[in-house]
Every structure is written in structure tokens, then in C-alpha cells.
Amino acid sequence: MGLDFTVVPDYFGVLAMGAVWTIAITVCAGVLSFFGGIVFAVSALYGHWSVRLPVRAFAWLFMGTPLLLQLFLIYFGLIQIGIDLPAFVAGVIGLGLHFAVYNSELIQASILAVDKGQYEGARTLGLSRGQTLRRIVIPQAVRAVIPPMGNNMIALLKDSALVSVIGVMELTLAAQQAISRTYRPFEFYLAAAFCYYVVNLALEAGLRHVERRIAASR
């Protein structure tokens, strides 16, 4: 069986819808991983030990295991404890938590690198510990790690293909749907790869723009 790319345009709509869902998942999981990363970082550094230890154990477990395995845990684990979430939500939670752990590592290092004088200055001016963290330390720490967190976003976009395995309707699963009707895996996976590549280039260009803005505002 040779190659025949003329069938691909017939499924343009299916692939385009898939691409839209892939972008939606990436954005939702990206936002979750950003705020989740901050929460994890602060609780791993400053939390009471009853919070700190579980957060650190969770991070250790999620840094050392494959994302696909974590998606299975979250998807089937939630069902087992009686929470039957739509696949999309489970996928967003899985991807979001996975990358929150990676973002948290970046943010923790960055928080510790914020000049001590900033902290002391804020405390001297009468800000409470929580206020100092929230208004002074965390904004500086997070801003410094936006470029590496951007790299995590790019990884997230590509890893979003994995949620097709738990049945989330996105680009990879859209391609699979077209394949099950046409029996043309090569053409449709290549088409899907092309879509990912284009979205990836757009995301990279966007991140470079953001990085320049940050560099300029310093």
C-alpha cells in the first residue's frame, strides 16, 4: 500500500478540531501547572512539616516516573475513589500536576536565590511573613524563571499527545479516528505531526516575545 495524501483534506475539519482541543488542554494544564508550581514551591519550602513532607514525597514520585504512568494513576485512581471525571478534566489534572512539579523545582531554586535584603526590607517595613512572600519574594522569583517555565510549556504541548491514551479527544486521537476510517496511518500521523510542529513554532515565537519583554522591563 503506497502513500496517498489526497484523503487528508477530507478530514481537515476533524484534525482542526483536534488541534483546537490540543491547544485548550495545553493552556488549561499550563495555567494549572503555573499556579500549582507556586503552591508546591511555597509549601515545600515554608509549609508545616505535615504539608511539606507529603508535597516533597509527591514531587519525588512524580519526577521519577513516566507521565503516561501518572495519567493512568489519576484517571483510574479517581474512578476508583468514586470521582468520575470527564477524560478532558482528568487529562488536564494529570498534565497540570506533572508539570507543576517541574515548575515547582524551578521556583524553589528561584525563591532561595531572591536577595535576602528584599525579605529583610519588607519585614522591617512591617509586612507579615505571608505578605512578604506573596507581594515581594514570589513575584520576583516567578518572573526570573519564566523563560525555563516556557520550555516546560513547550514540553507540555508535545506531551499533551499522551492524553489520547486515556481517551481525551485531541489531535492525536483525532488522527486515530481518521485512520480507523481510512486505514492510512502514515498520512494522518504525519498530518498530526505537522499540526503539532506549527503550534510548537507559534508557541516558541510567543515565548521569545515574552522573554524579550521581560528582559526589557528589567
Min separation Cβ 138 and other proteins, Å = 27
Q: Contact with other proteins (CB under 8 A): which of 76, 135, 206, 214?
A: 76
CB 100 within 8 A of CB 36: yes
CA–CA distance, 30 with 124 (Å, rounded to integer): 36
Residue 72 interacting with other proteins (CB under 8 A): yes
**Nearest CA-CA partner of 25 in 98, 108, 106:** 98
| Residues contacting other proteins: total by CB under 8 A | 38
**Nearest CA-CA partner of 154 in 195, 199, 191:** 199
Q: Contact with other proteins (CB under 8 A): which of 66, 86, 121, 167?
A: 66
Q: Give the other-Cβ count within 10 Å of 176's Cβ.
A: 15
Q: Which one of 37-45, 72-80, 115-123, 136-144 is the stretch in contact with other proteins (CB under 8 A)?
A: 72-80
Show contacts with other proteins in window 140-179 (CB under 8 A).
158-162, 164-165, 172, 175, 179
CB 22 within 8 A of CB 171: yes
CA–CA distance, 58 with 188 (Å, rounded to integer): 37
CB 33 within 8 A of CB 70: no
Min separation Cβ 117 and other proteins, Å = 32
Q: Which one of 23-31, 112-120, 180-188, 206-214 is the stretch in contact with other proteins (CB under 8 A)?
A: 180-188
DSSP 8: G
CA torsion sign for 78, 80, 81, 84 is: positive
Min separation Cβ 123 and other proteins, Å = 37
Q: Contact with other proteins (CB under 8 A): which of 28, 67, 90, 137?
A: 67
Q: Which one of 35-43, 71-79, 111-119, 122-130 is the stretch in contact with other proteins (CB under 8 A)?
A: 71-79
Min separation Cβ 79 and other proteins, Å = 8
Q: Which one of 25-33, 41-49, 112-120, 187-195 is the stretch in contact with other proteins (CB under 8 A)?
A: 187-195
**Nearest CA-CA partner of 89 in 169, 20, 198:** 169
User: Locate cell 495555567: which residue?
Assistant: 31
Binding site for other proteins (CB under 8 A): 1-3, 61, 64-70, 72-73, 76-77, 80, 158-162, 164-165, 172, 175, 179, 184-187, 189-190, 192-193, 196-197, 200-201
